[in-house]
Amino acid sequence: MTREHCICGAPLKGLSVEGASRFGFVPASSLAHHNYDIPFDVGVTLLGARVFECCPNCGALVACEYPTVEGQVRDEDPLITYGPGTVYEECDVSSVPTTYRSFRALMSSGVTGGYMYSGVFKQHIADLYHTTVDQMPGWKVVRDTIMDPANIAVDEWWSAAIGRNFIVLYENAKVLRLVAAWHRVEGTDPRNERIERLQHMRTDMLSDSASDTMEVSQFKAQLELPDVKRQLIHLGNVGRARLNNNSITIGRHLLDLRLWVAQSVLAEGNALFEANAVHNTNETRFGIWHAEVDNVDNVDSASESESRPSDAQSAVDDATDDSSPLTAAAAGNGQPAASEVDMLFRHNNVVRVSCTCEEGQNGEICKHIVAAALQVASHFKTSVRLPDLSGGKSVGARGADNTSVDSERYQHYADAVSMLHQVQPTEPRFEALTAFITSFKEPPEPLHRVEFMAVDAAGSHRIGYSVYSEVVLSFIEAVLHDSDDQYTKVLHRYGLDKDVSLDILNTDHLDDTLIVALLTMLVYKERRNEGVIAEALEDGSLVRLLERLRDVDSSRGTKEDKAIRRKQLQSKGTRTGRMLGGLGVGMTGGPIGPRGLSTSPAPSPTPTQPDGDDH
């Protein structure tokens, strides 16, 4: 072993480390060179690949010896600047340089990109394919697995960028949403001898003043973690351990909360949320949100208590605060003052949840998880639709024993009759996109900013890069997850160019198919022309598209529209109903393209009333 102890003094295991403490990194270029057609364990032996050990005490990453295939020798690697034994200390993602935040800056840098995964990920893949970690599928199968939206619950893998001084993890390579970062600790880095020989041979002496040479020194003040940030990073590491040891797999969107939670638990969790029983709600690391929920059986007596702060500072200040009425009530009942909830989000979906209460440890979704989920939704100014919790007479479906059935829990199943008649769906389809309207109109923080990075040692020449907030990155993720990358074909069917300007379109007359294609075009165009999303936010065109999409989406579910569609089906016959989808829209005469967009404004949405006869 090159290093037997971490900088904190904890003992290390080296290449023999397993489980959540073992991190493997495989460069995407090395995998592409072999067309991904290699065994899984061979990946970390490729050029530029490496293994890190995560210190269980301080969370630092320590570079292990170069892993090799039996019979091969890999003493030096030209793609790795610093050799085995280098220590990378945890840092806050806000202190990461601009290089790792912009596609344009990242593509023009010398950063190595690839996949980072832990030992837990190997177990997830083995369980998915009913095999063992010793008989893993090859990288071709693994890559297709992690890219399939159906396998969103397979976690513990990330897109990674490793530079001279930083290791940065993203949810995936399409959206630069940073979830964890480490910086190199100066003085712990045994230099790579082959790299040093190449540096002695170089003729470009200006490389000593390159932007990434002195990154650690330039950002040293930002890399000093305050107690608040250090506490949040610690909570993230503890939450990751809880989720790996004992958690509940969800794999659903937060907006679908009513579909993966029992109605009785939903009512209890909503009561806790309304009583301000959730506090210290913060995003920590690896996409994990941590919250504390007071344990009380009756929240009515404490419902008028003051709202608890939910910022990062309260995570430290309130750690020993027992003055809350809810906390006092819980202590009087002989139960822990609060239950700790950890929620892992990936691609805007709730992947895994964990709670320290008895129900949560038994694998049941408890009221504390519901309350924490509602608190996270309120943080993003997202409204979660809840069923009628008043306990009134049910108007939905009824079971064989004449008991009421919560029909909203089965809305994700297809309506066979509507499919046969090709009736358009009546429930909102784009809530995951329209939920961002409020956040864009009343953002909790600036939606975008321009960060300048010097390109010379004197700093006289600087280049600006667009950096987006977490809200905008979540929106980009939602568009990529819910849309089709063949958006150019949709635009061509409407007679539009793939780079059409949004300000020439009459937003009031667009349908949902075209709007989604335009949103997808905007996201993909951002990679080629950085800043177009920022312009769309500033001139309001993006918000107008989402508001039009919400109007079309909400009018789809009214009883009047349902009745109109049924009359159209009855009057036009089977052939016309099949050809036009029961919508009665002409094939020509629209303002744009052959699809024939209706020139009449969409009917104004009316509040949807529960009607069991219309389902």
Tell me the DSSP string of 355-423: ESSHHHHTT---HHHHHHHHHHHHHTT-PPP----S-----S-B-TTS-B--GGGGTTS--HHHHHHTP
Instruction: Show Cβ contacts of residue 527 under 8 Å, excluding neighbours closer than 6 positions.
Output: 103
Question: What is the structure's pLDDT at 607?
Answer: 44
Cβ contact 100:146 at 8 Å: no
Integer Rg of the chain from CA: 27
CA nearest 192: which of 330, 313, 48, 58?
48
Question: What is the structure's pLDDT at 327?
Answer: 43
Question: What is the structure's pLDDT at 206?
Answer: 53
Q: Are residues 90 and 172 in the same domain?
A: yes
Q: Are residues 271 and 354 in the same domain?
A: yes
Count of domains forming the chain: 3
| Boundary-marking domain end, from 136, 168, 190 | 190
Q: Are residues 269 and 144 in the same domain?
A: no
CA nearest 268: which of 352, 353, 365, 351?
365
Cα–Cα distance, 151 to 157 (Å, whole number): 12
Indicate the pTM of the whole model. Answer: 0.77
127 located within any domain: yes
42 located within any domain: yes
CA nearest 342: which of 357, 323, 332?
357
Question: What is the structure's pLDDT at 39?
Answer: 94
26 phi, psi to nearest 5 deg:
-125, 120
Question: What is the structure's pLDDT at 608?
Answer: 43
Q: How far is CA 458 from CA 80, 100, 215, 453, 541, in A?
A: 28, 22, 14, 12, 40
Q: Is the dihedral of CA 492, 497, 502, 508 positive or negative?
A: negative
Q: Are residues 129 and 246 in the same domain?
A: no
Q: Are residues 129 and 59 in the same domain?
A: yes
Question: What is the structure's pLDDT at 584?
Answer: 34
C-beta neighbour count of 205 within 10 angstroms: 7
497 is in which domain, residue-wise?
A: 431-556
* pLDDT tens figures, 124-144: 999 999 999 999 999 999 999
CA nearest 63: which of 209, 203, 255, 191?
191
523 located within any domain: yes
Question: What is the structure's pLDDT at 290?
Answer: 96
114 located within any domain: yes
Q: Are residues 152 and 95 in the same domain?
A: yes
313 located within any domain: no
| Boundary-marking domain end, from 190, 219, 253 | 190
Strand ranges inside 12-142, DSSP E: 22-27, 50-54, 61-63, 87-90, 112-118
122 located within any domain: yes
Q: Are residues 91 and 157 in the same domain?
A: yes
Q: Are residues 373 and 281 in the same domain?
A: yes
Q: Are residues 349 and 282 in the same domain?
A: yes
Q: Are residues 275 and 134 in the same domain?
A: no
Q: Are residues 250 and 180 in the same domain?
A: no
Q: Are residues 244 and 363 in the same domain?
A: yes
159 located within any domain: yes
528 located within any domain: yes
Cα–Cα distance, 307 to 328 (Å, whole number): 15
Cβ contact 215:98 at 8 Å: no
Q: Which two tokens stand for residue 42?
A: 């061979």
Tokens 């793609």, located at residue: 79
- pLDDT per 10-residue tile (average), the chain, 615 residues: 84 91 94 93 90 92 86 66 86 87 83 93 94 93 91 92 91 88 85 66 58 61 78 92 93 87 90 92 93 74 43 46 43 68 92 93 93 90 70 42 49 53 62 88 87 68 84 90 80 88 87 91 88 92 92 70 55 40 34 35 44 43
Instruction: Show Cβ contacts of residue 303 under 8 Å, excluding neighbours closer than 6 positions.
Output: 274, 275, 276
Question: What is the structure's pLDDT at 227?
Answer: 84
Question: What is the structure's pLDDT at 296?
Answer: 72
Question: What is the structure's pLDDT at 611?
Answer: 46
Instruction: Show Cβ contacts of residue 486 under 8 Å, excluding neighbours closer than 6 positions.
Output: none
